[in-house]
Amino acid sequence: MMKKYNFCAGPAPLSPEVYQKAAEALENFNDTGLSILEISHRSDAFLSILADCNKWVLELLSLENKGYQVLFLQGSASMEFARVPLNLLKTQAGYIDTGVWAQKAINEARKVGQVKIVASSEDKNYSYIPQGYHLPEQIDYLHCTSNNTIYGTQMNNFPDTNAPLVCDMSSDIFSRKLDFSQFGLIYAGAQKNISTSGLSVVIIHESLLSENVNIPNVLSYKQHFQHNGLYHTPPVFAVYLTWLNLQWLIQQGGVEAMEKINRQKAAMLYQEIDNNYLFFGTAQKQDRSLMNVCFRLVDENLSTQFDRFIESKNITGIQGHRYVGGYRVSLYNAVTLSDVEYLITCLKEFATEQS
């Protein structure tokens, strides 16, 4: 079978090793004669997987023994847009607006309580990360989005705030080293650097596990914590895929090693886009994302021809988001250096054909 080069923004590719082991478990999990899809979520085998995932997430983020808990929940980041304010918003929350996903989180929070937009980059079509803003004193939490897949921007510095810092890391968790202890709550949809869709991972400090009796139990972080992640049947296969992928990540050398490779991949591709006369990047250089490289054709009339060329090269998933158009190459952890080198070779070839 001919190799496809997938640079999709999500669901994203995982390592072939992960796929192989997952495929084996679909037929016969751990020589039990059962598929991973039919094992009990209360079996010793699954409880061991869940415990490993909790342990490895905290170790990879250097959060072990620092008062954090990990929850593997049905849903997505969009579910957390609502669940965060339902659990944490009592009077007013602060939000940093860096694009569509931040806006969606803001809109959900407004259904729960007052929201203060602390900063926004909407004035320049979200092509940069706002800096130098004033932080209000009386807020229950401050919410930010670490990486903006649609616009190709990424936060490199996070606000120093007395309020708990909540971060949507759906598209860049496990991709680079940070001081993760600066966050009170981190959440991520799983379908990029973690697992497959249908799962959200929440890393929450124990100090934020307060009970809000006015929300349904199924939406309460504390309820899920008190039931050890088994308040209802968790997405077993997605958690198992997380288990496999976390093992793979550890084998690669962890987050630090992954960051080194990710920086190489991004630097190579940005250099080609900056030097290739047919293309230009859309994000301001100081805020360019390591995960999502967004660019456009200088001559939009070449778009159909370029699309056909890319398809002929077995490259898929580089169309920009429907809100903004253009092109977007996603460089999540499982995308290899050789994948990026191949793409760059193709971009050069297309430029030569047009010269």
Q: Which residues participate in the annotated binding site for L-glutamate?
A: 42
Pairing of strands 327-330, 292-297: antiparallel
Catalytic residue among 168, 172, 287, 339: 168
For the chain, where are the alpha helices, taking DSSP H only? 16-27, 44-60, 77-88, 100-110, 221-226, 236-251, 254-275, 303-312, 337-354
248 is a catalytic site residue = no
Q: Where are the beta strands (DSSP E) in 113-184?
A: 114-120, 142-145, 147-148, 153-154, 165-168
Nearest to 127 by CA among 319, 324, 344: 324
What distance in Å separates the CA atoms of residue 104 and residue 168, rounded to the nearest whole number?
Answer: 12
What distance in Å separates the CA atoms of residue 136 and residue 147, rounded to the nearest whole number?
Answer: 23
116 is a catalytic site residue = no
**DSSP result, 286-301:** GGB-SSEEEEEESSGG
Annotated binding site for pyridoxal 5'-phosphate: which residue ranges?
A: 77-78, 101, 149, 168, 191
Q: Long-range contacts: 205-208, Cβ < 8 Å, 24+?
A: 205/67, 205/68, 205/69, 205/164, 206/67, 206/68, 206/69, 207/67, 207/164, 208/87, 208/88, 208/164, 208/184
Q: At residue 26, what are phi and psi to the nearest 5 degrees? A: -65, -30
101 is a catalytic site residue = yes
Distances (CA, A) of 114 to 93, 231, 313: 6, 30, 50
Annotated binding site: which residue ranges?
A: 42, 77-78, 101, 149, 168, 191
The pair of structure tokens assigned to 310 is 């890319």
Q: Is 30 in contact with 45 (CB distance < 8 Å)?
A: yes
Distances (CA, A) of 208 to 164, 225, 340: 8, 11, 41
Catalytic residue among 21, 56, 97, 101: 101
Q: Is 290 in contact with 175 (CB distance < 8 Å)?
A: yes
Catalytic residue among 192, 265, 287, 339: 192
Residues annotated as part of the active site: 101, 168, 192
